[in-house]
Amino acid sequence: MPVPARVVLVTGCRSGFGLLAAVELARRGHVVYAGLRDLDTAGPLLQAAGGLPVHPVQLDVTSPDDRRRAIERILAEQGRLDALVNNAGIALGGFQEQLELDEVRRVLEVNVVSVWALTTLALPHLRASRGAVCNVSSVAGRIALPGLGLYAASKHALEGMTEALRHELRPFGVRVTLVEPGPYATDIMERNRAVCRRMHEPDSPYQPWVRRGEELEARVHERLGDPAQVATRIADLVEAPAPRLRHPLGFSATLRLLFRWLLPFSAWEAVVARVTRPGAAAGPQRR
């Protein structure tokens, strides 16, 4: 049975999951408003859309005015909103002692506070349409690793907030889901990869672990997943009548969650310590 066309707002559409999800949803016949922090960066999105119904909209998710205007524009032009995909997010590498307060606040503002704020604005309209909220989390929202504590904290917070939201909106028929990707070939892992300002201080006691982390990251980059897989799942969840809450994606995410489920924390802790130990063997190359 064909799925009715829906009006969908997707955040963080300059590249990666957001761009691909916006195009995939439009390809399926939905009307998509694609949030961009800077409309001057809309070129790749429009090129990928190739005339499909994708409408770039000014949306810095941390701006109250942008959030309000984006919702108002959609309602003025379409009369309704059927789904919200909270994809915009940032990552920041760094051991927690190295982080500075403004860095912590920035990550939490983008990954947690802005998601709450935009979703809150959208909820009256999603209740009216019995719509959907899809929040893009990460396997880091279930498993925290050294050097990524702040990112993991933001995604753990997003997971808890989303789980509660699912209970809160169930009586109104609004479907709430989480996508939990492992490492994929997106800007958050490549061009937009960021580390804290103090990450490479030469006198830091964490420097041996920083170097080991960079070795491991280089190996991860050799086998990043195809982000189109995540975009397809997001589109499926927007359309699904009764989806489950959590959707881990990628071999790495599935494997880590399986190990974490099977092993007591003490055993998992030992595995992490061994893998991240400075001077640990790199192991055989795999693709």
Q: Is residue 283 part of a domain?
A: no
Residue 147 sits at φ, ψ, to 5 deg, of 85, -5
Domain hosting 192: range is: 7-276
Q: How far apart are CA 112 and CA 157, in angstroms?
A: 7
Return the pLDDT at 249.
93
Q: Is residue 108 part of a domain?
A: yes
Answer whether 159's CB lies under 8 Å from 142's CB.
Answer: yes
Q: Is residue 287 part of a domain?
A: no
Answer whether 102's CB lies under 8 Å from 144's CB.
Answer: no
Span 212-260, pLDDT tens digits: 988 888 776 666 778 999 999 999 999 999 999 999 998 888 888 998 8
Q: Tell me, what CATH number does 113's domain have?
A: 3.40.50.720
Q: Is residue 284 part of a domain?
A: no
Q: Is residue 281 part of a domain?
A: no
Residue 217: is it exposed, middle or buried by C-beta count within 10 angstroms (0-12/13-18/19+)? middle
Q: Is residue 151 part of a domain?
A: yes
Return the pLDDT at 285.
38
Span 162-179, pLDDT tens digits: 999 999 999 999 999 999
Return the pLDDT at 281.
56
User: Active-site residues: which are they?
Assistant: 151
Q: Nearest CA to 148 among 228, 205, 80, 217?
A: 217
Q: Is residue 2 part of a domain?
A: no
Answer whether 181's CB lies under 8 Å from 253's CB.
Answer: yes
The neighbour count for residue 70, using CB atoms within 10 Å, is 24
Which residues make beta-bridge pairs with 56? 34
Q: Nearest CA to 119 among 148, 154, 81, 75?
A: 81
DSSP state string for 40-96: GG-HHHHHHHTTSSEEEEE--TT-HHHHHHHHHHHHHHHS---EEEE------B--G
For the chain, list residues with pLDDT below 50: 189, 282-287
Return the pLDDT at 198.
94
Return the pLDDT at 128.
98
β-pair type (54-58, 31-36): parallel
Helix residue ranges per DSSP H, the chain? 16-27, 43-49, 64-78, 101-108, 114-129, 149-169, 207-221, 228-239, 251-262, 265-276
Q: Is residue 282 part of a domain?
A: no
Structurally, the chain folds into a number of domains equal to 1
